[in-house]
Amino acid sequence: MTRFATITRLSLTKLILSTSAALFLLAAQAVSAQVNLIQFDLHVNPKFAACLGVAGGPAPTAHVTVKRGPRADTLTIEANNIRPHLAFDMFTIQRSNLLANGSVDPNFGGSFGMAWYQSDLQANGLGHFKANIKTILLDQIFGFDPDAGLAPTNTFHVGFWFNDPHDANKNGCTFDVTHPTPFNGEHKAGPLAMISVPDAQTDLGPLCTDPNNNGTCNP
């Protein structure tokens, strides 16, 4: 009886150890499967391309790199060929007004959805800027407001807006400065300048690196 109990205890111990090892391996594989670095370009809002860059010069470009961190992620945005000294306000937003190919979405309803103010941006005399932010970004960035009935809502896109509405009403661009957008600290900004585009398959923004089959992101 004692020998049988000892064997049973040994078998149970082996089973527990084997199960624990298997669970640890699965967890390690899940962590290692995470994408730890992503890069993507922002696309110019076509309506305001002429006033974003220099007339006759190369097209404005903006590139984003996001590195996953243990507690917060680091985003670096760098742009070139911007009209010198322009100021912008960068947000993470729920949806883009562009399609995956960079063209304007004909079904865009005019609302970018949930938006988080992330950083100010300022082009130098050569039309270049670079900025860094550190916050929760990859796969998990969201906002919610139960008082307003707003459920947790992800903001997987990145975009920046003209800080001064008058800057978007030059060089052939037309913007009604009497109706500014809320995309700066004073809530009197200009229009969208550049933004990310959705994935052609999932329709999610680039800050989601692990999409589910139902159009949501796996946090």
- Neighbour-count burial of 78, counting CB atoms closer than 10 A to its CB (0-12 exposed, 13-18 middle, 19+ buried): middle
Residue 150 to residue 171: CA distance in whole angstroms = 40
One domain, residues 154 and 181: yes
Q: How many CB atoms lie within 10 A of CB 167?
A: 24
Q: What are the C-alpha distances in Å from 90 to residues 23, 119, 142, 163, 193?
A: 41, 5, 16, 9, 10
Predicted TM-score of the model (pTM): 0.85
Residue 18 to residue 35: CA distance in whole angstroms = 28
Across 155-211, where does the E strand assignment appear? 157-162, 192-195
One domain, residues 28 and 60: no
What is the three-class DSSP state of 17? helix
Mean pLDDT for 73-78 is 98
In a domain, 207, yes or no: no
One domain, residues 14 and 122: no
pLDDT digits (tens, 9 = 90+) for 15-67: 444 555 444 444 444 444 689 999 999 999 999 999 999 999 999 999 999 99
One domain, residues 6 and 61: no
Mean pLDDT score across all residues of the chain: 90
Domain hosting 144: range is 37-195
Number of folded domains that form the chain = 2
Tell whether the model's pLDDT for residue 132 goes beyond 50. Answer: yes
One domain, residues 154 and 187: yes
